[in-house]
Amino acid sequence: MSSGENIREERLKKIELLRAAGMEAYPAESQREISNAAFLERFTEYDGAKTTLAGRILTRRGQGGIMFADLHDGTAKVQLVLQESEMDAADFKLFSDAVDSGDFIEAHGNGYTTKRGEKSLLVASWKMLAKALAPIPDQWYGLKDEEKVLRERYLDILLNPEVRAMFERRTKFWQSIREFLLARGFYEAETPVLETTPGGADARPFLTHHNALDIDVSLRISLELWLKRLLVAGFPKVFEIGRIFRNEGQSREHLQDYTQLETYEAYSDMQKGMQFVQDMYRYIAREVYGKTDFEINGHKLDLASDWPIIDFSQEIRTAYGIDPLTCTDAEAADAARGARALTDGDDNKARSIDSLWKLIRKDISGPAFLIGIPVYLEPLAKRSPDNADIVERFQIILAGSEMGKGFSELNDPQDQRTRFEAQQALRDGGDDEAHRLDEDYVLAMEYGMPPAFGFGFSERLFSFLENRPAHEAQLFPLLRPKNAQ
């Protein structure tokens, strides 16, 4: 029998000790009167006065007629002091014999200041709330097995204050975005997760079957097309913070299911949107981190600085000597293979040019706006009035990556249909990440959609501000089952 199994057996025996003493191991009710944090904050009220606390025993120590234990309830840690002379002897012995680290208990007693000046609870009685069968690890900090850390993330949060603080910041991150948008009159929407025609992004969806309707459906890959239908419906400003799912590769920056923000504002455009986005990013940084300067993946940047404008097409021309607006598929593929950015033999110009750009962006710290995107790379944005070969789209460049995308929304249904058909042709030719022809969306546009600015970013922005890989910044990232081959 392993040591872990031995410990479990010993703890099961302690449940029998509790039952023999007339105490339940998993009662339905707790009589807790106040949180640990409030107890400490208002200690002058409780010093010498009775109250009841509850939480998890993190550590216990002492011997003979006095014991100490640290009780944590998720708000703060309070020291419990148990003196045999101050409580029923049988209760004292049962605590000594049956309570382990990890157990949840309830403790009733008086506020008490120790000789060392520590605010504590002098226990008069106690009750088990939940007996832990597995021990809390003695050593967790610096654990090298990343999979174990992620698989048992609840222990990582419990034992690592920095990880807990990160997830508290993650909540504040999304809260600050919601506050920013609601204060500016945006309507928060909740749109479908299951779709018959996934759209709004170049991505491969997860597919499933809807038994009740007997149809194949997919998990959404974007929030965009539903939110823009709300512009047709008459909402001038809409946003959604929701989960999206893309059945693609996984990397330091990319996950398959993650949280996304998308916003759409009628009667705005790309130029107006730049200031809107700058304001939002700076607001998030100050609200969540209290600063605007960050060091991310070896890049130093300050969101409060000026954001220069970088031209996509010009960067490609300068770096590789080809014009992404006029080059052929073969010329783009040759340049990409020459730069070792494309190795799979794909002669699709969009894929080739995009792969070249990804080499360039690695050296851009930002923050910066990227503009001048060719039409063939963005089927949902308006064409530039100055050059019909590019779209009115910008991307945010931070620390060598794209951390948000916005554009003047295409609202010409005929142009939209033409671009969808071009994307569908790519799809029919084998590109399973190209957009689908969405007839229902085109129909909605034919009823009239106002000019609008749309913008979105994912939780990847949070992981970048934390300077962590994307999966580490998720509470419970998807992992293979332990028994998977």
Q: Give the Å distances, CA to CA, from 137 to 145, 159, 341.
A: 14, 9, 45
State the DSSP code for 410. Answer: P
Q: Is residue 141 part of a domain?
A: no
pLDDT at 452: 96
Give the amino acid at 193.
V
Whether residue 230 sits in one domain with residue 102: no
CATH no. for residue 42?
2.40.50.140
Q: What is the CATH number for 178?
A: 3.30.930.10
Distances (CA, A) of 449 to 39, 66, 469: 56, 74, 39
Rg (CA), the chain: 29
Environment class of 342 (CB within 10 Å of its CB; exposed 0-12, middle 13-18, buried 19+): buried
Shared domain check, 372 and 244? yes
Do the bridges between strand 368-371 and strand 393-398 make them parallel or antiparallel, or are there none, so unpaired? antiparallel
Check the CA dihedral 155-159-160-165 and report its sign. positive
Residues 93, 41 within the same domain: yes
All residues at 6 or more sequence positions from 131 whose CB lies less than 8 Å from its CB, including other chains: 11, 14, 15, 18, 25, 26, 103
Does some domain include residue 333?
no
CA-wise closest residue to 241 among 309, 181, 311: 181
For residue 17, the enclosing domain spans 3-130
Residue type, 372: G
pLDDT in tens, the chain (485 residues): 566 789 999 999 999 999 999 999 999 999 999 999 999 999 999 999 999 999 999 999 987 899 999 999 999 999 999 999 999 999 999 999 999 999 999 999 999 999 999 999 999 999 999 999 998 887 666 566 778 888 899 999 998 899 999 999 999 999 999 999 999 999 999 999 999 988 877 788 999 999 999 999 999 999 999 999 999 999 999 999 999 999 988 888 889 999 999 999 999 999 999 999 999 999 999 999 999 999 999 999 999 999 999 999 999 999 999 999 999 988 888 888 888 766 555 567 888 898 899 899 999 999 999 999 999 888 878 889 999 999 999 999 999 999 999 999 989 999 889 888 888 888 778 777 677 888 889 999 999 999 999 999 999 999 999 999 999 999 999 888 887 54
Instruction: Give the DSSP letter of residue 82.
Output: E
Residues 179 and 121 in one domain: no
Residues 107 and 71 sit within 8 Å (Cβ to Cβ): yes
421 in a domain, yes or no?
A: yes
pLDDT of residue 333: 87
Domain shared by 90 and 176, yes or no: no
Q: What angle do CA 157, 467, 136 make, to 5 degrees?
A: 15
The Cα–Cα gap between 217 and 203 comes to: 15
Answer yes or no: do 201 and 275 share one domain.
yes
Could you tell me if residue 482 is inside a domain? Answer: no
Instruction: Give domain status of residue 373, yes or no.
Output: yes
Does 344 fall in a domain?
no
Is pTM beyond 0.85? Reply is yes
Residues 223 and 265 reside in one and the same domain = yes
Last residue of a domain, one of 112, 130, 148: 130
CB 384 within 8 A of CB 417: no
Which positions ≥6 away from 345 have C-beta within 8 Å?
none
* Helical H segments across 60-160, by residue range: 89-98, 146-151, 153-159
The residue whose two tokens read 């105490």 is: 23
pLDDT of residue 1: 55
- Is residue 55 situated within a structural domain? yes
Backbone angles phi, psi at 440, to 5 degrees: -65, -40
| Structural domain count, the chain | 2
Q: Is residue 122 part of a domain?
A: yes
The total number of residues shown for the chain amounts to 485
Exposure b/e, 256-295, CB count within 10 A at least 16 = b: bebbbbbbbbbebbbeebbebbbebbebbbebbbeebebe
Helical pair 161-182 and 270-289, crossing angle rounded to 10 deg: 140
Task: Sort strands 207-210 and 215-219 into parallel, antiparallel or unpaired.
Answer: antiparallel
What pLDDT is stored for residue 78 in this prediction?
Answer: 97
Q: Amino acid identity, residue 96?
A: S
Q: What is the pLDDT, as a whole number, of residue 485?
A: 46
CB 370 within 8 A of CB 354: no
Decide if 292 contacts 285 (C-beta within 8 A).
yes
